[in-house]
Amino acid sequence: AQSVTQLGSHVSVSEGALVLLRCNYSSSVPPYLFWYVQYPNQGLQLLLKYTSAATLVKGINGFEAEFKKSETSFHLTKPSAHMSDAAEYFCAVSYTGTASKLTFGTGTRLQVTL
Amino acid sequence: NAGVMQNPRHLVRRRGQEARLRCSPMKGHSHVYWYRQLPEEGLKFMVYLQKENIIDESGMPKERFSAEFPKEGPSILRIQQVVRGDSAAYFCASSPQGAWDTEAFFGQGTRLTVV
């Protein structure tokens, strides 16, 4: 069965510092990978998605993620954190034939400090 | 174009009562997905519906839970005889098609509290 592991349930960075949120997946077939952001009491918003076109994917709000098949990873990065980036981030995976059914990681809460 | 609309946003039920959660997909979307988020956990897939059809209910508990997406009106997730363990945030998502690379748009969720 497919699964997604997000290392670190809480990450704290200073404003202006690099953001790195980790995501590893388990799969025997090529997956589609997604990063979603959830602000307090809000729904999920898609940040970016990997669909095998390019290994480095750029998303909204300055985020990007790199698909590394050898490491089964899809880590999310942003060069310079902003206070408005404070939120919960979810990595998710879907597979061929599962029609947009997503398997989510447990989430990483990002805190940005001054 | 309004997004995915869920109501109510907050719902409190006593143990044994029924909970009905509604989801109106985005205009032009005929595919609806329900997810449940338990405290401190990620979202778990529950059910995938198209108009008048249940496509995949592999994530639905076998008892007390049901879902429908009628030809007219919103999708409904129904939980009968609620228990404290049903307390969670329930999210609905919609997409224009069911392809696995199609982005699903999420609603703001319904937070169910069972007392």
Q: Are A91 and A76 in contact (CB under 8 A)?
A: yes
Q: Are B103 and B55 in contact (CB under 8 A)?
A: no
Tens digit of each residue's pLDDT (9 = 90 or more) over A4-57:
999 999 999 999 999 999 999 987 666 788 999 999 878 889 999 887 778 899
Question: Count of CB atoms within 10 A of residue A96's CB?
Answer: 12
Alpha-carbon distance of A64 to A77, in angstroms, equals 5
Locate the chain A residue with the closest alpha carbon to B10: A41
Tens digit of each residue's pLDDT (9 = 90 or more) over B47-84:
999 988 999 999 999 999 999 999 999 999 999 999 99
Name which of A26, A25, A91, A24 is nearest B42 in CA terms: A91
Chain A interface, Cβ < 8 Å to B: 4, 6, 9, 32, 36, 41-46, 49, 51, 90, 92, 94-107
Cβ distance A99 to B100 less than 8 Å, yes or no, reads yes
Among B33, B43, B107, select the one facing A100 at the smallest CB separation: B33
